[in-house]
Amino acid sequence: MCEKAIYFKKTIKPQTLSNINYMVLSIIIVSWNVCDYLVDCIESILKNCRRLQYEIIVVDNAGTDGTVDFIKEKYPHIALISNTKNMGFAYANNQGIRRAKGKYLLFLNPDTIIKPDAVEKMLTFLEQNKGVGAVGPRLLNKDLTIQHSVRTFPTFRGALYRHTILRYFGLFKNHHETWRMKDFRSDRLTDVDLLMGAAILAEKDLVLKMGGFDERFFMYYEEADFCYRIKKAGYRIVFFPDASIIHLGGKSARQVPFRKKIMAIRSLLMFFGKHRNKPAVAGFAIFFLPLFIMREILESPVRSVKACFRPVHC
């Protein structure tokens, strides 16, 4: 079905990037039971990154769908890390970072499809703007509509609206909309707080300086923490609309929907605990957790009814 992967050794045009004597880019993909999507992702890289000198590093996070054997057979030139235990998204990305040979690192979800020239444009922008710590493309849905992919950093009030029963009363809705940047213009180069982790490009030296990803974040908000530390160090986080990548969205997380919610809440509280005033975080948690549980109790019967009428695929 798929052709064997190879490294494209052609150097980049001098007017595009200045480097020619070393590996330009390491593309790090963390995968968990999404082999079909991963194949499409890899094929899009092979097709649309021909002018770059790059490597692909796949970290299989203890998946059970045969990804490891498939990659070994069909893409023997891809660097493969096979974990026997799922230690989380941040941990797996750090494994890729340690293995990477490139000057730049592209953290890419397996459910993405690279569009023509997207990666090269991002590399050129990062190379030419030394004050930029990380750059992210415009993400597109499967139907090529715009996928909202930037945020401000999380806030207490925004979290109360998003995750608790207060949502039904409309309390703090404006804070949530500010956090989610509802009015964001996706056609403009813009400095932002954080980028969706589906596709983030950064220089390896800076990533190492930041200590990579915080492995205490098993899943979710690891990119928020990562971007927060980059900005705190004085670098810019930039949304770059001239590059587009399709993101199918949440294919691994959908396999464990309840765990997904618990992991998201845990990671959110960890982010607050790490970057906000600790007494304020403790006070927030006292109100947040009961209100979160109340919403779960309220919505649980609704989810059960929906499950009863959900089509069964044999």
**Domains in the chain: ranges and CATH:** 25-148+184-251 (3.90.550.10)
Q: Which residues pair with 152 in a beta bridge?
A: none
For residues 228 and 186, the answer to whether their CB atoms sit within 8 Å is: no
Query: Model confidence over 74-130: pLDDT tens digits?
Result: 999 999 999 999 999 999 999 999 999 999 999 999 999 999 999 999 999 999 999
- Burial of 35-70, coded b for 16+ CB within 10 Å and e otherwise, reads bebbbbbbbbbbebbebbbbbbbbbbbebeeebbeb
- Please tell me the predicted confidence (pLDDT) of residue 79: 97
- Please tell me the predicted confidence (pLDDT) of residue 103: 96
- Please tell me the predicted confidence (pLDDT) of residue 251: 57
Share of the chain above pLDDT 70, in %: 86
Q: Hey, what are 243's tokens?
A: 């590059």
Between 4 and 224, whose confidence is greater? Answer: 224
Query: Model confidence over 172-209: pLDDT tens digits?
Result: 999 999 999 988 999 999 999 999 999 999 999 999 99
- pLDDT level of residue 58 (50, 70, 90 thresholds): very high
Query: Model confidence over 233-245: pLDDT tens digits?
Result: 999 999 999 999 9
- Please tell me the predicted confidence (pLDDT) of residue 228: 98
CA distances from 302 to 144, 189, 308, 311 (A): 32, 41, 10, 16
Distance between CA atoms of residues 169 and 181, nearest Å: 21
Lowest mean pLDDT segment, chosen from 49-63, 213-227, 257-271: 257-271
Output the pTM of the full model. 0.87
